[in-house]
Amino acid sequence: MAKPSSIEAQPARRASATTLDELRAGSPYVSYSYSYPHKTSYRPLEPRALKDVWATEERDAVFLYLHIPFCAVRCGFCNLLATKGADGDLTRQYIDTLARHARAAREAIGDRQVVRVALGGGTPTFLDPAELDRVFGVVRDVMGADTSTVPVGIEVSPETVTPERLQVLREHGVDRVSIGVQSFDQSEAGRMGRPQRDGDVHRALRLIREFGFPTLNIDLIYGGDGQDEASWRRSLEAALEYRPEELYLYPLYVRPLTGLGRHGISWDEHRLALYRAGRDQLLGRGYRQVSMRMFRAPHAKAQDGPVYCCQQDGMVGLGAGARSYTSALHYSTEYAVGRDSVRGIIQAYIDQDDAALRLLRHGIELDDDERKRRYLIQSLLQADGLARGDYSRLFGGDALEHFPQLQSLVAHGLAVEAPEQLVLTPGGLELSDAIGPWLYSERVGRRMQEYAWA
């Protein structure tokens, strides 16, 4: 197996393929399409009242996402809107703003019900127990979400897991805890740019299990420098010891603006080989593959709905960097990854008065074509594939007629077509991060190319 041997320059962001031959000749790792359109395609908009944007929205259920942009560390690979540490009483100011933002959002969405809640980041458990309690108070008292009945998920990092914090999460009905481990070998994690102690990882995992959360998810990353198939398998085995209900296996992407960048065919081959090894190991242990990244345990309780009902629900995002989705418009604050830019965005978020929090200024409009693409990408990249009947009911036509290029996936053996389904083959699923971008509109692809990283 080819392994990356050296750290090279950050690759230029390449255009996505237009034909399937180009797609197959290119990298399998173009972009993670978990939410189309990607946030780097958002642009400044004429200020608009949240209330007006939500007034015409037909959906009566919303997913609530709260973004906590603070972490105990800043990982070299991470391109999320997050910053290491918080000076002075920054976290208090941030939560104050979150509460004001929630009031603005509640007013805008009217009596729509919050049916699912997630706290992500960053690292929400960077907050201390009293601060976490306050955030849940906002979710309950301002957003009106009964966290004892709706599913609630939270992201944690190993060193922030303490009994006091987990106690708060239990009291507020959190049922899914997702922990970023990345690697069970601290020197390997360190080489990826993740400072971490193995002792913290195991202590955190034991504690989470002792507290009895119904769903434990563990994030692991493959493709790091010096990681090989044997060390990758050891990380997977170490994760399996904790019987996680879910596992996310992320191919390593290196964020712009770091010295960690490198590229080349050998790195692609390396990631692909580790992906296959990881997938086969988990399938062999009875895990079901849900998407390229996600695997669910045989003992996981049946889902009462998709992990995130993006196809049906609107999403209300609270916090700096949190995205909100209506059917025709996606919006958020600005996005950045560089330290000073991230801090500037957090400060600008806090500095907004109530009137400013009632407006949106940054995002992307989705016309009918973009809505179809979004639906298509988010369905097709799931192992269960695209339900053609559902697509037709929503968009008044067959997906394969609206997007004839899908036929070439079938012709190349990357998807199989049935009257009711279009499902990626294993060879297609492992190319998810190339197939997603291949389905982006020209406008979104161009905007992502033109995005100036800060």
Ligand X SMILES: C[S@@+](CC[C@H](N)C(=O)[O-])C[C@H]1O[C@@H](n2cnc3c(N)ncnc32)[C@H](O)[C@@H]1O
DSSP letters for 418-453: -SSEEEE-HHHHTTHHHHHHHTS-HHHHHHHHH---
**Residue (224 or 385) nearer to ligand X, CB:** 224
Contacts with ligand X, 98-127, as mask; x by CB under 6 A: ----------------------xx-x----
Q: Are strands 324-325 and 329-331 parallel, antiparallel or unpaired?
A: antiparallel
User: Footprint of ligand X on residues 221-260 (CB under 6 A)?
Assistant: 221, 250, 252-253, 255
Among 30, 53, 71, 429, binds ligand X (CB under 6 A): 71
Does position 75 bind ligand SF4 by CB under 6 A?
yes
Collapsing DSSP to helix, strand or coil, 131 comes out as helix
Instruction: Please identify, using beta-carbon distances, which residue of 119 and 424 lies nearer to ligand X.
Output: 119
- Identify residue 94 by its one-letter amino acid code: Y
Residue 125: CA count within 13 A, CB half-sphere? 24
Q: Which does 252 bind (CB under 5 to 8 A by kind): ligand X, ligand SF4, none?
A: ligand X
Kindly give, in sequence order, each residue whose CB lies less than 8 Å from that of residue 149, ignoring residues fewer than 6 positions away. Answer: 173
Beta-carbon contacts of 243 under 8 Å, excluding residues fewer than 6 positions away, are 209, 216, 297, 299
* Of 217, 229, 219, 239, nearest in space to 272 by CA: 229
Which position's Cβ is nearest ligand X?
180
Task: Decide if 310 contacts 378 (C-beta within 8 A).
Answer: yes
Give the one entry of ligand X, ligand SF4, none that residue 73 binds, where binding means its C-beta sits below a cut-off of 5 to 8 angstroms depending on kind: ligand SF4
* Binding window for ligand X (CB under 6 A); candidates: 43-51, 73-81, 270-278, 300-308: 73-81
Contact 432, 33 (CB under 8 A): yes
Q: Which is nearer to ligand X, 247 or 380 (CB)?
A: 247
Binding partner of residue 255 among ligand X, ligand SF4, none, CB cut-off 5 to 8 Å per kind: ligand X
Task: Judge contact between 151 and 190, C-beta under 8 A.
Answer: no
Q: Closest CB to ligand SF4 among 41 and 123? A: 123
Q: Using the rule CB under 6 A, is 122 a contact of ligand SF4?
A: yes
332 binds ligand X (CB under 6 A): no
Q: Tokens 């979150």 sit at which residue?
A: 98
Taking the least distance from each CB to ligand X, the nearer of 120 and 173 is 120
Cβ at position 113, least distance to ligand X in Å: 26
Record the tokens describing residue 439, joined without a space.
């389905």
Report how far residue 142's alpha carbon sits from residue 59's, in angstroms, rounded to the nearest whole number. Answer: 20
To ligand X, the closest distance from the beta carbon of 155 in angstroms equals 4
Phi-psi region of 352 (alpha: psi -120 to 50; beta: other; left: phi over 0): beta
If one asks whether residue 323 binds ligand X (CB under 6 A), the answer comes out as no
Should residue 157 be labelled a site residue for ligand SF4 when binding is judged by CB under 6 A? yes
**4 near ligand X, rule: CB under 6 A:** no
Shortest distance, position 345 Cβ to ligand X, whole Å = 16
> Site residues (CB under 6 A) for ligand X?
71, 77-80, 120-121, 123, 155, 157, 180, 182, 219, 221, 250, 252-253, 255
> Site residues (CB under 6 A) for ligand SF4?
71, 73-75, 78, 80, 82, 121-123, 157, 180
